[in-house]
Structure 1
Amino acid sequence: MPRYFIEVAYKGTNYAGFQIQQNANSIQAEIEKALKIFYRQEFKLTGSSRTDAGVHALQNFFHVDTNFFSEHEAINNNIYNLNAILPDDIVIKKMYQVADNAHCRFDALSREYKYYTYQNKDPFIADSSFYYPYRLDLEKLQQAATVLLDYNDFTTFSKKNTQVKTFICELIKSQWMFDEDQFCYNVIGNRFLRGMVRGLVGTMLNVGTNKLSVDGFRKIIEAKDCTLADFSVPAHALFLVNVKY
């Protein structure tokens, strides 16, 4: 049976996360529902990167095995109709056939995230950036971000009750920047743990406000103890921006 990748983007505010779950609405549930309505057939999707409740994505993927999709032109027409069924905060961007053994999760080479904070009250970005009205030292934030590239065991930055077999992640890029009056943390890695990016951001913000030294940040990483990380930053400022194959 042919396999297809489905590229999606979404605003995660109204959803309990990316992956389907009991007693809560999710991105996957909405897309499976739209596919069922349009094709009159049940679909079981596999997702590439799980995002938590409230997290957004400019790009994420599912794959599905089906005979119901057809040639390129028909797929493009069907995308329009599927988007008409989907809520306004979810969009299907592409649907295309891939190799029968392609896997949208395991074949991904990297994922890229951005987390935004702002310091001057602005109602126009309040739902997509974290209001953090404290003086930040960009140089120290950058030092902390660079320190992360020296490590690959991120046990400290994984929330409890996770079922992963390993806490090893390879970071390709880790940096803070000042972008359009916002501080932005940009990180690329081969994989990420549950709550990892928010844990990194929250803990580095303590470095940026001089509550924690860069050496202290290193000790927190090396302790491999998630109770030492700060996961308190909100989800709504986090974006999955790219999944690379």
Structure 2
Amino acid sequence: MTGAVTRYFIDVLYKGTLYSGFQVQENAHTVQAALDKALSTLFRAPVVTTGSSRTDAGVHALQNFLHFDTALPLHPQFLYKINAILPEDIVLKAIYEVPPDAHARFDALGRSYEYYLYREKDPFMKDRGYFFPYTLDTGLLQEAAAIIKDYTDFTSFSKRNTQVKTFLCKIHESYWTVSEKQLVYNVSANRFLRGMVRGLVGTMLRVGRGKLTLQDFHNVIAGKDCTLADFAVPPQGLFLVKVRYPEGLLVDDRLK
């Protein structure tokens, strides 16, 4: 006998190398499909999740959230059982009971991404970063990253054929972390457009290599034309690192 329907948020991380993106697609191997299958197997009933953020093929996540509803009780060893069922490149970290109207996508207040470049050939970074052994002016990279915070319309950094109604985004953080062997672009915003982070990185790298001036970079953003931006950086360097929700939403961890 089952009780009332309960809504749960799940916190997951995954390595996206072997997947055709996050969202369920017909005849495609996706992260969400693997999660739905594992949950349905454990509950022995169909479970359909709703994700907070769609990542492209080859993109990774240190944190992403989904929600689902069920009237069935949680197995007392839920985390152990579900992670035994999931593929080794997907991990479910926590499950939270939330109000019935909570929504993994629409309640998110913001997201943070990191994009990794590595400067020396490294087989262990091959599917987790972009090998970029070229000379870069990191000072110009930082200046370009700071410029991004001055704008709210990112039409130039949205891939075509998107369904969004607005291209407005509020950037909270935008900066590069630089070390001898690695560069990481860090960006946080209330929302992101399709392909936006890779477009920002690709275009900033042109600035760092002296192929665009800082004024050119201003002009790319102000131009509101995606043909002006450079989206040609590979997906494996991109990580979704955090999804933020209203304080107090994710407090009822069912497994603590």
Which TM-score band (shorter chain)? over 0.9
Q: TM-score w.r.t. structure 2 length?
A: 0.92
Q: Say whether 1:163 aligns with 2:167.
A: no
Query: 1:58 maps to which residue?
Result: 62
**Cα 1:69/1:156, change in 2 over 3 Å:** farther
Matches within 5 A, 1:116-131: 116-131=116-131
Q: Say whether 1:16 aligns with 2:20.
A: yes
Tell me the secondary structure at the aligned position of residue 183 of structure 2.
strand
Structure 1: which 4+ aligned runs deviate by more than 3 Å?
A: none
Matches within 5 A, 1:1-245: 1-70=5-74, 74-75=75-76, 77-179=77-179, 181-245=181-245
Query: 2:254 maps to which residue?
Result: none
Deviations along 1:184-232, one digit per CA (max 9) or x if unpaired, are 0000001100000000000000000000001000000011100111111
- Structure 2, unmatched stretches of 5+, are 246-256
Q: Distance in 1 between matches of 2:27 and 2:218?
A: 40
- Number of residue pairs matched by the alignment: 241
Deviations along 1:124-183, one digit per CA (max 9) or x if unpaired, are 212211001111111100000000001010000000111011111110000011147211
**Cα 1:39/1:202, change in 2 over 3 Å:** same
| Code of the aligned partner of 1:244 | R
Query: 2:252 maps to which residue?
Result: none
| Code of the aligned partner of 1:20 | V
Deviations along 1:56-115, one digit per CA (max 9) or x if unpaired, are 000000001111243xxx45x111111111110001101110111111111111100000
Identity %: 58
- Give the CA RMSD over aligned residues: 1.0
Deviations along 1:18-59, one digit per CA (max 9) or x if unpaired, are 110112111100000011111111111110011011000000
Give, in angstroms, the shift of residue 2 of structure 1. 1.7
Which structure shows the higher helix fraction? 1
| Code of the aligned partner of 2:23 | Q
Tell me the secondary structure at the aligned position of residue 233 of structure 1.
coil
Tell me the secondary structure at the aligned position of residue 17 of structure 2.
helix
| Code of the aligned partner of 2:178 | F
| Code of the aligned partner of 1:33 | K
Q: Distance in 2 between matches of 1:3 and 1:40?
A: 17
- Structure 1, unmatched stretches of 5+, are none
